[in-house]
Structure 1
């Protein structure tokens, strides 16, 4: 008996680059759970794996591919967006499915059943129009999940015209579709018997929500009507909300797109929320030549890691947003590091203010544009109802930090009777620093670090460069060119 060689799989390299042991989002347990669930289904099961844009669907699917591969399941990965230019998703799915199956072992391509499936696919593809094929196959195969593309065609033609299109060639095409279903199921059994494969065959479809609306719909029709067969399971990863919008773009805003999608999917699963602290813990945020503040001395992570973790939650950032944010922070702090070496002055950076500014600029928040060194525009983030540490709400966290890059002015009189304008940053008293033992230690430490740094500016230290809002904004503008 030959073996199913997982090293020959099309994406076998993912075993080293994408596996759950190096998953920074801690989704290993969920991956195992989902694998156990879907491999218990074997008869044309289609799962919708839902995740919003930027939540790491592709990264998860690649690791899921590796997990299934290591369990000896024949697994197929299809990037739907790569084939978006094609007018025929049936060709795409069929080609990827057979090509990737054959890659596991050279003997699979020479199996008689493989050859038969290819022959029947040729007939099914002969002059096919996917919409019409969908309705015809649904009618002749007693399939109630008829796609809307095809329903429109059916009602736009009278029944006589519809029947006239079912010529002898077309009837053969429908028979071929039935044979494909049967043949694929039998091919899966051959993989088990002759190559020690574990069934079912799992097909992972990615990036469907990025495709043209009509292509995405046709791809779903193809999966449900043509490949919903014994010993095959499909996992289709989508931003379901975005896919619903795409469907409405075709059929109108009043169309019940969510109900329509249920025709294609047997079940829906959602990616769990990522563990941001774990994700960021593996990122190197060390900048030894820069004085970054504020910080919680009771917490082990760096001020940058803490700020990103807290503000990503407040501004509802997705993983892709966070990756981009980290790159911009790194670019900004590299420039600060160069400034330190050139000036030989200690650089004091309010990292919370810098991160807020980067987020505001990326999101196009008005407060970013209207804020100056002397005027603090405020914006309430999406999620503003949690405490960063006991007694320190996210609202106070943002307000206190931002106040430390905004100057206040006061007119004073010198000892010689002359008046002058004095510019200063808030001190500990203004910041709410309370030396009473009743103030929570973590909050106290955080406010103390703010007060310590603002006093350097107020005392006009010649050995220090304290970055105010306008200084930070100049950096942010440059970093905004990085995507």
Structure 2
């Protein structure tokens, strides 16, 4: 990993004004969600689905702050910080109890029911039985009948085995007897708990909003158990759960852990509504770029960075981290330098491993991404471009972009055309190509013949300025 990646760290900041600095237009989603929840007459579990780095945590924390101002009861938990626990039932119960100011008698009754329910759902096989069961698993006896297993223990371990077998048999019979006797109580425990929970939140003017963040980062068994607990125990009127997660990543981890052919259908049993995190609003990139250019005093051509951001389809975290890193590198000696730096860092952010690429692989990768981006523009902007020939496309698109002051992007397109075209080039143009090649290199690495290697060296050096 490059040393440079250690410079960037997300910081927790207290939210005093919800959605202040909302450069990605997320407040509109919060308003829609709030209106939807306020009209719910029943409980619900909502999945807020977005890729890693799209700003889910920033959104749900700002939405929570906004809901609090509107007098909602709101709970936020980072599920990843709790997945060391055996069962999430207690976390969910205690957070709700602490958030709701209910009558003391109702609260006390809920506590009692919560404790007994928690005891009922946890594994309660005696510790000796559990230890011996683990031992038997290791010796291959687990698949046999209990009677055969007890006989094997006696035969294989002599007197000690006989005593252990008697104790195991007694404990097992005792445990099974308790299960039979407590069957009706256990069956009704869910009903008791939900009834007390309904009483606890009955007097709320607006639904209690319970936000569960970072679910996709948890151990799969904890994630599944958490959403199962929500559906089986907490799915009542006046409580709305919002699961902030990368759903595809969660499904993949569940599928990998349990060997499901498709985790998607499994998750759908527990989620009432899926909401895809909205795509960025038109123009939101330029607002972020302007903000960071101003904040860090960056010497960048905003329109160049805008095109590059759209070409790489960066999410909010990708773009801000790249710009933060560029602030550390802010000693660009030519207009093309920040363009090359941005492309290198964007490839790195997208795990494309630019350091392993040759010069041609580096430029071809970018040009193919650019072609995909341009094809997605209104047809009037690219109807005459030769997409099949990257060199001609670079020349055509560069001419289309020409006229912008201090644009390093057009320099790059010009170099690509001159380096890889089949057209005849005169001596004067060849000199121009060589001059452009030198400008593609990172500052301080002019003696390096490979411009990709020069950027790799520069970034790996920790942005040390000469």
TM range (shorter): 0.5 to 0.7
1:212 correspondence with 2:256: no
Q: Which ranges of structure 1 fall in alignment gaps of 5 or more residues? A: 1-12, 102-107, 133-155, 193-197, 291-301, 338-345, 404-430
Whole-Å separation in 2 of the counterparts to 1:75 and 1:287 = 35
Contact preservation (8 Å) 2:48, 2:275: yes
Whole-Å separation in 2 of the counterparts to 1:246 and 1:448 = 44
Partner residue in 2 for 1:311: 308
CA offsets 1:7-63 (integer angstroms, 9 cap, x no match): xxxxxx85416x124322111112101111122224221111111111111111111
Partner residue in 2 for 1:268: 274
CA offsets 1:313-369 (integer angstroms, 9 cap, x no match): 322322222222112222222xx26xxxxxxxx655432222112223444536653
- CA distance 1:229–1:365, change in 2 (3 Å): closer
Match of 1:371 among 339, 358, 361: 358
- CA distance 1:235–1:110, change in 2 (3 Å): same
Partner residue in 2 for 1:238: 245
Partner residue in 2 for 1:357: 344
- Is the deviation greater in 232-241 or in 120-129? 120-129
Whole-Å separation in 1 of the counterparts to 2:361 and 2:182 = 75
- CA distance 1:20–1:211, change in 2 (3 Å): same
Match of 1:119 among 109, 112, 133: 112
Whole-Å separation in 2 of the counterparts to 1:474 and 1:367 = 12
Q: Give the total of aligned pairs.
A: 374
Deviation at 1:114, TM superposition (A): 1.0
CA offsets 1:175-207 (integer angstroms, 9 cap, x no match): 4432221222222233x3xxxxx3211111111
- CA distance 1:324–1:127, change in 2 (3 Å): same
- Report 1 or 2 for greater relative contact order, CA contacts < 8 Å, sequence distance ≥ 6: 2
Partner residue in 2 for 1:16: 16
Whole-Å separation in 2 of the counterparts to 1:310 and 1:476 = 23
Contact preservation (8 Å) 2:210, 2:242: yes
Deviation at 1:284, TM superposition (A): 2.2
Contact preservation (8 Å) 2:298, 2:327: no
- CA distance 1:211–1:165, change in 2 (3 Å): farther
Within-5 A mapping of 1:83-98: 83-98=82-97
Between Structure 1 and Structure 2, which shows a larger proportion of strand residues?
A: 1
Q: Which ranges of structure 2 fall in alignment gaps of 5 or more residues? A: 1-12, 126-144, 147-172, 416-427, 443-449
Partner residue in 1 for 2:289: 280
Contact preservation (8 Å) 2:45, 2:243: yes
Whole-Å separation in 1 of the counterparts to 2:235 and 2:77 = 16
CA RMSD of aligned residues (A): 4.4
Deviation at 1:86, TM superposition (A): 0.9
- CA distance 1:390–1:251, change in 2 (3 Å): same
CA offsets 1:80-115 (integer angstroms, 9 cap, x no match): 1110111111111112222233xxxxxx37621111
Deviation at 1:162, TM superposition (A): 11
- Is the deviation greater in 181-190 or in 115-124? 181-190
Partner residue in 1 for 2:402: 443
Partner residue in 2 for 1:64: 63
1:225 correspondence with 2:232: yes
CA offsets 1:130-174 (integer angstroms, 9 cap, x no match): 899xxxxxxxxxxxxxxxxxxxxxxx99xx999856355565455
Whole-Å separation in 2 of the counterparts to 1:331 and 1:393 = 40
Contact preservation (8 Å) 1:50, 1:240: yes
SS of alignment partner, residue 236 of structure 1: strand
SS of alignment partner, residue 166 of structure 1: helix
Contact preservation (8 Å) 2:88, 2:222: yes
Within-5 A mapping of 1:155-194: 166-168=179-181, 171-190=184-203, 192=204
Deviation at 1:458, TM superposition (A): 5.8
Between Structure 1 and Structure 2, which shows a larger proportion of helix residues?
A: 2
- Is the deviation greater in 219-228 or in 385-394? 385-394
The alignment's TM-score, normalised by the length of structure 2, stands at: 0.67
Partner residue in 2 for 1:419: none
Whole-Å separation in 2 of the counterparts to 1:77 and 1:229 = 19
